[in-house]
């Protein structure tokens, strides 16, 4: 089974899966990777996404911006940590679409 075939299909599934996944050991907490702080981008996206049904337009814009910043920064992360952050990008996109 490939990674793509195991990707959850709903925002709730993605959020649950993200909570179960440990923070990548190869990522230095408090360090910036590209345009983002490794820990803060995680917390920001997850926090907004967990309130996806009740986001204000300002929240949606912030979430969209955070997802875009993370997308542009993905290559700065250690390769083995990228799937963790790719999931966050999916979460951001799914939450904005709600």
pLDDT digits (tens, 9 = 90+) for 36-94: 999 999 999 999 999 999 999 999 999 999 999 999 999 999 999 999 999 999 999 99
**How many Cα atoms occupy the beta-carbon half-sphere of 81 within 13 Å?**
19
Predicted model pTM? 0.89
Backbone angles phi, psi at 32, to 5 degrees: -85, 135
Domain extents for the chain? Answer: 9-14+31-97
Q: What is the DSSP string of 20-89?
A: HSPPPTTSPTT-EETTEEHHHHHHHHHHHHTTGGG--HHHHHHHHHHHHHHHHHGGGS-GGGHHHHHHHH
Which DSSP state fits 5?
G
pLDDT at 7: 54
pLDDT at 1: 35
pLDDT at 4: 46
């Amino acid at each position: 089974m490939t990674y793509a075939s195991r990707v959850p299909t709903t925002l709730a599934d993605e959020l649950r899966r993200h909570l179960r996944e440990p923070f990548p050991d190869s990522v230095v907490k408090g360090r910036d990777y590209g345009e983002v702080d490794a820990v803060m981008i995680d917390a920001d996206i997850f926090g907004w996404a967990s309130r996806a049904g009740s986001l204000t337009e300002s929240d949606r814009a912030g979430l969209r911006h955070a997802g875009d910043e993370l997308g542009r920064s993905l290559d700065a992360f250690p390769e083995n940590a990228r799937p963790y952050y790719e999931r966050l990008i999916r979460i951001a996109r799914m939450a904005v679409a709600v």
